[in-house]
Structure 1
Amino acid sequence: MFQDINLEEVLDLHQQQQMKLIDVRSPSEFENGSIPGSINIPIFTDKERAEVGTLYTQVSVQAAKDRGLEIFSDKLPTFIEKFKQIEGPKAVYCWRGGMRSKTAATVIDLMGISVSRLIGGVRSYRKWVVDSLDSFEMKPNVYALNGYTGAGKTIILNELIKKGLPAIDLEGRAQHRGSIFGQIGLNPNNQKTFDSLLLDDLIQLQDSPFTITEAESKRVGKVTVPDFLLRKMEQGTEIFIDMPIEERVRNILTEYQPWNYPEEFLRAFKLIKKRIHTPIATQIEKDLLAENYSSAVQLLLEYYYDPRYEHSREQYPSDRSYTIQVKDVDDAITSISEFLTAQHAVNTGS
């Protein structure tokens, strides 16, 4: 008989990579929010789930169970084979730890495959995430990367992570670059997914001497950043990246590749067009239509984004703000790594 397992034990084993988590809900439910690192092996497709749900509400519980069993029986060999391919301890879960995960665990156990079931399902996990973020007390001090649009802050941040430095990529967790053009070419995460990924980062970095992140506002695309993290940023140290505008234009073109999404860029620009001086806005639109993206991006930087960034710098007093003048992203990575190493040595007295 399969064993029920509580959330605390599941998360501990999962974090240590000693247990694989399998979400047996439908693909759209999984996409809407799951435990990070889980594998989706659904009992029902979205269409099948809707059919069973309709029977449950409009006919009877027994009719829904009978139809659900019929659907599941047809796909049982494939379902079991997918579980056989997953090595090591496994735990299944659904929304509430109810019928779907119980059915999956029972069948898998009968086939001689060891499996556990998460008590309370993903609903218990979501409650834990919300409660944890509401009461989280972040220990590390924050170094906030700032700089005009196109300074490559996200690229720099991820290179620092590769070097082993403690950092959180908020835009990466949101799957949004934070501007009106920020979701083009991406699939932005919802708040549930963002919260789960962020909490995982926060827990892992809680004992770090410091944490690096990009200076952000309350909202990043579709999601909001917790207030405690925003306060930590405001109380932390700013590292302002001063990079030539020509290099910033190149960075934006490399990252956004507007030639692959011409209609999306034009549509996004029209949302901010009225905020830009009319002759400049007219020229930007002409450049976008003519696919003269270098000119369009430079005008956007000079007349829209750069002036807006001046306001964000005001939250950091001069004694907690350091400007690093660099020629490109590679130079910035080296300079910031050296700066953080020096700062850490001063703070620890080493």
Structure 2
Amino acid sequence: MFQDITVHELMEQRNTKKITLIDVRSPSEYKDSTIPGSVNIPVFNDEERAEIGTIYKQVSVDAAKERGLAIMSAKLPNFVKQFKEIEGDKAVYCWRGGMRSRTAATVLSLMDIHVNRITGGIKAYRKHVLDSLEHMQLDADAVVLQGLTGTGKTAVLKQLQLEGYPVVDLEGLAGHRGSIFGHIGLQSNNQKTFDSVLFERLKELQSAPYLLVEAESKRIGKIVVPDFLMEKKASGTTIVLELPMEERVRQLMEDYTPAAHKEHYMAAFQLIKGRIHTPIAAQIEKHLVEGQFAQAIQLLLEHYYDPKYTHTFGQYEGQALIVVSVNRVEEAVDAVKEILRNLTLKKTGS
């Protein structure tokens, strides 16, 4: 027989062993939000779930159960096969830990495939995440990368994360670069997914000596960053990156790949066009239309983003800023590493 475990018990077990989490909800539910790292083996696909829901509402509960059983019976061999291919400990869940996960766990148990079932399902996990984020206290100090648009902050963070540094890449977790053009070419996450991946990342870094983050605003696209993290950033050590204009344009061309999404960038530009001096806006639009993206980007930096962020920098007045002025993003990575090393040595007294 399968065993029920709570979300808290699941978290405790995952600290000491690998558990494969299996979301048995429909593909659209899984896509909307899931427990990070889960795989999707649905009891019903989207069409089947809709059909059963209609029967439940318009006919009866028993009729819906009978139809669900008929659908499940037809796909049972393949369903079991998918679970057999997963080695090690397994835990299944659905929306509230109800019929779908109970049915899956029962069937698998009859086939001698042991799984745990997460009571309360993803709804309980979501509550656990929100409660944890609301009351989370981070002992680690924040090291914040600041700088004008295009100074390679995200590129530096990604490289440092690849090398094992304790990076919290908020843009990466949100699936959004934070600007009016920030969603283009990316798969943006909703708030539920952002909260979950942020929670899991912070758990991974709970013993880190510091957290390395970018100086994002509270909103990244439609995502809202928790207050405790904003407060942590406000009291952290700030590193300001400076790059020449030519390198900033090159970096933005690499990050945003405008030629691959020309129409999307044209549409996004219309949203800010009215905030730019009319003759300059006309030049930018002309460059975009003609595919001269480097020229358009430089004008956007000079006449929109730089003035905008120069105002934002005012909030750091009176704080000790560590300025890194280099010619290439690769040099910025090395410079930030040296700063982090010195900060760590200073903190430990070595």
Report what 1:232 is aligned to.
232
2:71 aligns with 71
Q: Work out the CA distance in 2 between the residues paired with 1:112 and 1:205.
A: 37
Alignment of 1:310 onto 2:310: yes
Instruction: Supply the AA of the counterpart residue of 2:191.
Output: Q
Aligned position for 2:6? 6
Could you report, residue by residue, the CA deviation over 1:29-64 in whole angstroms, capped at 9, with x for unpaired residues?
111111111110001111111111111111100011
Question: What CA distance in whole angstroms lies between the structure 2 residues aligned with 1:217 and 1:266?
Answer: 24
Equivalent residue number for residue 91 of structure 2? 91
Contact 1:287-1:293 at 8 Å conserved across structures: yes
One-letter amino acid of the counterpart of residue 312, structure 1: T
8 Å Cα contact 1:92-1:116 kept in structure 2: yes
The answer on 1:60 being equivalent to 2:60 is yes
Q: What are the Cα deviations for residues 273-314 of structure 1, in whole angstroms up to 9, with x where unaligned?
A: 000010000000000000000100100111111111112222
Is the Cα–Cα contact under 8 Å of residues 236 and 320 in structure 1 kept in the other structure? no
Aligned to 2:162: 162
After superposition, the C-alpha distances for 1:165-192 in whole angstroms (9 at most, x for unaligned) are 2110000000000000001001100000
Question: What is the match of residue 146 of structure 2?
Answer: 146
Aligned sequence identity (%): 53
Please show how residues 171-182 of structure 1 align to structure 2 within 5 Å. 171-182=171-182
Is the deviation greater in 313-322 or in 131-140? 313-322
Cα shift at 1:208: 1.6
Contact 1:2 1:114 in 2 (8 A): yes
**How big is each residue's C-alpha offset from its partner over 1:47-103, in whole Å with a ceiling of 9 and x where there is no partner?**
111111111111100011011111111111111111011000111100111100000
- 1:165 counterpart SS class: coil
- Asked whether the equivalents of residues 25 and 44 of structure 1 are also in contact (C-alpha less than 8 Å), the reply is yes
After superposition, the C-alpha distances for 1:125-148 in whole angstroms (9 at most, x for unaligned) are 000011111111121111110111
The answer for the alignment partner of 2:40 in structure 1 is 40
Residues in 1 aligned to 2:130 and 2:303: alpha-carbon distance in whole angstroms: 40
Contact conserved, 1:143 with 1:210, CA < 8 A, in 2? yes
Higher mean alpha-carbon deviation, 156-165 vs 101-110, is at: 156-165
Instruction: Give the 3 Å change call, closer, same or farther, for CA 177–237 of structure 1 in structure 2.
Output: same
TM-score using structure 1 length: 0.98
- Alpha-carbon distance in 2 for matches of 1:206, 1:14: 15
Partner of 2:81: 81
Contact 1:151 1:251 in 2 (8 A): yes
CA deviations on 1:147-170 (whole Å, 9 max, x unpaired) are 111111111001111222211000
Q: 1:144 touches 1:213 (CA, 8 Å); kept in 2?
A: yes
Greater displacement, 149-158 / 310-319: 310-319
CA contact (8 A) 1:188 1:222 kept: no
Q: Return the offset for 1:325.
A: 0.3
Question: Structure 1: which amino acid aligns with 2:303?
Answer: Y
DSSP-derived class of the 2:34 partner = coil
- Does residue 266 of structure 2 align to residue 254 of structure 1? no
> How far does residue 112 in structure 1 lie from its aligned partner after superposition?
1.0
> What secondary structure, in the 3-state scheme, does the structure 1 residue paired with 2:176 have?
coil
- Supply the distance in 2 between the matched residues of 1:283 and 1:15 (Cα, whole angstroms): 56
Which is worse superposed, 173-182 or 70-79? 70-79
What does the per-residue CA deviation read over 1:207-226, in whole Å, with 9 as the maximum and x for residues that have no partner? 22111100010101121000
Runs of 4+ more than 4 Å apart: none
Matches within 5 A, 1:1-350: 1-350=1-350
CA RMSD of aligned residues (A): 1.1
Cα deviation for residue 347 of structure 1 reads 2.1
In the alignment, residue 102 of structure 1 is paired with which amino acid?
R
Give the CA deviation at 1:318.
4.2
Q: Is the 8 A contact 1:14 1:20 kept in 2?
A: no
Provide the rounded CA distance (Å) in 1 between the counterparts of 2:47 and 2:223: 28
Kindly provide the CA deviation profile for residues 194-242 of structure 1, in whole angstroms up to 9, marking residues without a partner as x.
Answer: 0011111222222221111000101011210001111111111111100
| Unaligned 5+ runs, structure 2 | none
How many residues get paired?
A: 350
How far residue 16 of structure 1 moved from its aligned partner, in angstroms, is: 4.3
Residues of 2 paired with 1:318 and 1:167: CA distance? 26
* CA–CA distance in structure 1, aligned partners of residues 228 and 314 of structure 2: 19
| 2:280 partner amino acid | I
Give the superposition deviation at 1:17. Answer: 4.6
Structure 1 unmatched ranges of 5 or more: none
